[in-house]
């Protein structure tokens, strides 16, 4: 690690990377994605070289896992904490989009290597997260883990925060990943209560917690003392979770919506790229919205670097 890197932030994006099959009228193209991976890639693009972004996950030793790791590394994201499993494979999903850019998915992820993250031969092991300043994960990251691992991770996060680390959370709500709505509510509430930076989406929050509107979402999050951050509202633009003394910027809707696959993930990256470096909340919300507006104008979760 260089001297410049030592002076910068060290950020861990924790979650599952998957093989992505993008379906269109002529067949399918192969790529790699996953909500935390998407955010890691875009965050790396937003930050200066003095900062490190690492993807923390577990994959196999097969050809697709090797290609996935090579893709992550080619994007400048560290794979030093990308663990390998001798027999498990990465998850797989197929995605198709309609004329309005809305997505539909098919998943094969029940036995993915990432479901064994933090589980070593001697029991729970969170040492892969040691040395970071910021840890980012989502409810998807939590959903794929057994409850025992979630409990251990939350305990680790509590100690991490006491030591000065910052925890960033996004409650990506995927009902099929959870045993029940009640379980998801308990786990997600616990994460919000621990968060230093909160990046929820209004649709996910309303669907999971039966909130009638965005004001109810904000009231609930504030009652849980969720961290500073922004409630994502799609084309309307974000709103600060905690009231500000200054007016928010104007958020222009995206000119062209082709694929909304990584809209929230890229918003998170744009937001964090600004907020973690200068603490400007309005500037961070605008940066997140502008990056997401670019991403939804292209097909695929991760668009060419030149377009960001």
**Residues marked as catalytic:** 265
Burial class (CB in 10 A: 0-12, 13-18, 19+), 257: middle
CA–CA separation, 89 and 95 (whole Å): 19
Long-range contacts of 243-247 (CB under 8 A, 24+ apart): 244/281, 244/282, 246/282
User: What's the longest Cα–Cα distance across the chain?
Assistant: 54
Collect all residues with Cβ–Cβ distance below 8 Å to 193 and sequence separation of at least 6: 224, 225, 226
Give the SS3 label for residue 12: strand
B/e letters for 78-115, b = 16+ CB within 10 Å, e = fewer, are bbebbbebeebbbbebebbbeeebeeeeeeebeebbbb
At CA 65, angle to CA 64 and CA 68, rounded to 5? 85
In which region does residue 123 sit, left (phi positive, over 0), alpha (psi from -120 to 50) or beta (all else)? left
């Amino acid at each position: 690690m260089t001297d410049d890197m030592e002076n910068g932030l060290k950020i861990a994006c924790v979650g599952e990377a998957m093989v992505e099959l993008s379906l269109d009228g002529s067949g399918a193209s192969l790529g790699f994605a996953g909500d935390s991976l998407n955010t890691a890639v875009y965050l790396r693009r937003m930050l200066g070289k003095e900062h490190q972004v690492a993807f923390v996950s577990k994959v196999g030793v097969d050809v697709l896992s090797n290609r996935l790791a090579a893709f992550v590394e080619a994007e400048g994201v560290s794979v030093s904490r990308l663990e390998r499993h001798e027999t498990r494979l990465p998850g797989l999903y197929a995605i198709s989009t309609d004329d309005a850019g809305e997505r539909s998915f098919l998943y094969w992820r029940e036995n993915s290597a990432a479901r064994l993250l933090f589980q070593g031969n001697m029991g729970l092991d969170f040492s892969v997260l040691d040395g970071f300043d910021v840890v980012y994960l989502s409810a998807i990251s939590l959903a794929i883990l057994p409850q025992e691992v979630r409990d251990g991770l939350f305990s680790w996060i509590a100690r991490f925060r006491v030591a000065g680390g910052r925890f960033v959370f996004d409650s990506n709500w995927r009902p099929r990943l959870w045993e029940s709505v009640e379980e998801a509510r308990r786990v997600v509430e616990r994460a919000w209560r621990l968060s230093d930076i909160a990046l929820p989406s209004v649709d996910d929050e309303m669907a999971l917690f039966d909130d009638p509107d965005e004001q109810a979402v904000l009231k609930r999050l504030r009652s849980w003392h969720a961290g500073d951050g922004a409630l994502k509202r799609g084309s309307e633009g974000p709103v600060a979770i905690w009231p500000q003394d200054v007016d928010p910027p104007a958020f222009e809707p995206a000119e062209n919506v082709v694929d909304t696959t990584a809209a929230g993930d890229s918003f998170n990256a744009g937001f964090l790229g600004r907020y973690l470096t200068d603490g400007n909340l309005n500037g961070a919300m605008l940066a997140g919205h502008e990056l997401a507006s670019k991403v939804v104008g292209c097909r695929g979760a991760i668009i060419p670097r030149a377009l960001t």
